[in-house]
Copies of this chain bind each other. A is one copy, B any other.
Amino acid sequence: MQIRPHDDPQYQELRSRLREIRDLQAAASVLKWDRATYMPPGGVIARGQQIATLRKLAHDQLTDPALGELLENLRDFERSLPYESDDASIVRLARRDVHRALRIPSSFVATLSSHQTDAYVAWTKAKPDGNFEAVRPFLEKTLELSREWASFFPESDRIADALIAEEDEGMTTQTVQGLFETLRSQLVPLVEAIAERPQLDDRILSQHFDETTQLNFCYKAVDRVGYDFHRGRLDRSPHPFTTRLSHGDVRITTRVRPHQLTESIFSSLHEMGHALYEQGIEAAFDGTPLARGTSAGMHEGQARLWENFIGRSRAFWECFYPWLQGMFLRQLGQVPVNEFYRAINKVERTLVRTSADEVTYNLHAILRFDLEVAMLEGRLAVKDLPEAWNERYRQDLGIVPQQHTEGVLQDVHWFVETIGGQFQGYTLGNLMAAQLYESALKLHPEIPVDIERGNFETLHRWLQRNIYRHGRKFTANELVLRVTGKPLHVDPFVRYLNQKYGDLYDIHGR
């Protein structure tokens, strides 16, 4: 006799418990969105407490022994269904989440969280003066706690594995290192070759651009591309982010700078990429562990696909530039589209990751990843980190920070998260975006022409069908293999960069 999945009372009980956990997590996300956008300053302390309570309750429910028992009892149910079935996937992912939550003791979570608060405060104080010594003890403690975190997963081959898998399920230190070494060996010479060519001129981008008009352009653009405003909002916040509150409510924020036109536009397109992914997940997955993007890397890949591969392409601006010109006639009325296209694609060896172009960006990310692993593996002491950082910038980018503010202290990650797992997602995302986009183009070579004409549906539907709708059902590795027929590799991204920047910088013979 076949049991119809949804009639199984234990499965129903599981669903109802998972729904409650998701509701708590979603509530915490609403509270965080509000804090970043509209909350008055007086609310900050109580809000931190409220979010902590919701997280604690969600964690308590996830580690409730009754839930673990339920999952044990559902092993036969799960095995009776195909791997790809929604129901089996829900049980599988729930088991994975419970397993991870149980491995990390609550007391450790509290210690880590309290240390992170202190480390963050120390960082905000030390950063303006580039005072590394002031944060060194905090960073040493973070490293110690990160190692302890890793020790809860003794089955790992390498110490960073569990920290990486926390963000990018299915990835290991070894795989990532292999990909990154190959990529780096291609990027360093490409960046050198570009540096030898005459530089592109991007001064038109730093004129004064009215903030409200910039925001209006962003609304229009993300709406036109396919972001669903019926199920979302675009607001301003100091740090742009995307948040999923439910299938029907996926919000993005952006940052607007009056003298840097690209900030608002590319932040909006980046967050829109994250949001298209979340908006595209099966509605029926809401309230289950499937209802989010599958990994940090895949999420970043969706964001960067729209921000860079599309948003910095000629085709995109053939469509949107007339709108932008119309909104900023004084500033751009006399600037031809090709000049604008070249300005937004200027490659430059700089010190700051977040504002780096698409070619140099990955050198910033890879070196951070390598330093994380070296610290975790005991090959690099925290006290030697600034020197290692500067030396690596000299090697990879030919420049050295004059102060730690724009060197080792620039990123917040190590001061609010663990050391390990923080930076591989950015570059994995670029690799995924390239490999997926290459496959989409093989099947639909008309995509760039469609985009020129303002039709984004061909690509959007392809991503929807192949990536978005699955949510967390498949790992990023599984998705890449299913969709492109090959495991993740660096060639598509390298081909893309060589082609695009070979043309832009007129580099022959590559």
Contacts and interface: CB of A to CB of B under 8 A. Distances in A.
Majority SS at the chain A contact face: helix
Interface residues of A, number: 40
Interface in A251-274: 251
A399 interface: no
Interface string A387-405: 0000000000000000000
A47 B230 contact: no
Nearest to A46: B246
A247 B38 CA distance: 16
A233 interface: yes
A229 B40 contact: yes
B233 A42 contact: no
A12 to B, nearest CB: 16
Given A30-B34, A34-B34, A54-B27, A47 B233 contact: no
B23 A231 contact: no
A249 interface: yes
Given A43-B231, A46-B248, 16 more contacts: A19-B49, A20-B53, A24-B54, A27-B30, A40-B229, A40-B230, A40-B232, A41-B231, A41-B248, A42-B232, A42-B246, A42-B247, A44-B248, A46-B286, A47-B245, A47-B249
A66 to B, nearest CB: 14
Q: Which 8 A-B pairs have the closest CB atoms?
A: A46-B246, A42-B248, A43-B249, A42-B231, A23-B53, A23-B50, A43-B248, A42-B230
Interface in A216-232: 228-232
A31 interface: yes
A40 B247 CA distance: 11
Contact of A230 (B41, B54, B245, B287): B41
A57 interface: yes
Contacts of A28: 27
A45 interface: yes
Nearest to A45: B248
A81 to B, nearest CB: 26
A471 to B, nearest CB: 15
A249 B34 CA distance: 12
Given A20-B53, A57-B57, A26 B46 contact: yes
Contacts of A193: none
Among A23, A49, A230, find the residue whose CB has the most chain B CB atoms closer than 10 A: A23
Given A23-B53, A46-B246, A38 B40 contact: no
Nearest to A37: B38
A57 B23 CA distance: 11
B23 A247 contact: no
Interface in A13-39: 19-20, 23-24, 26-28, 30-31, 34, 38-39
A249 B40 contact: yes
28 contacts: A20-B53, A23-B53, A23-B54, A24-B54, A24-B57, A26-B46, A26-B50, A27-B28, A27-B30, A27-B53, A30-B30, A30-B31, A34-B34, A38-B235, A40-B232, A40-B249, A41-B231, A42-B230, A42-B232, A42-B247, A42-B248, A43-B246, A45-B248, A46-B246, A46-B249, A46-B286, A47-B245, A47-B246
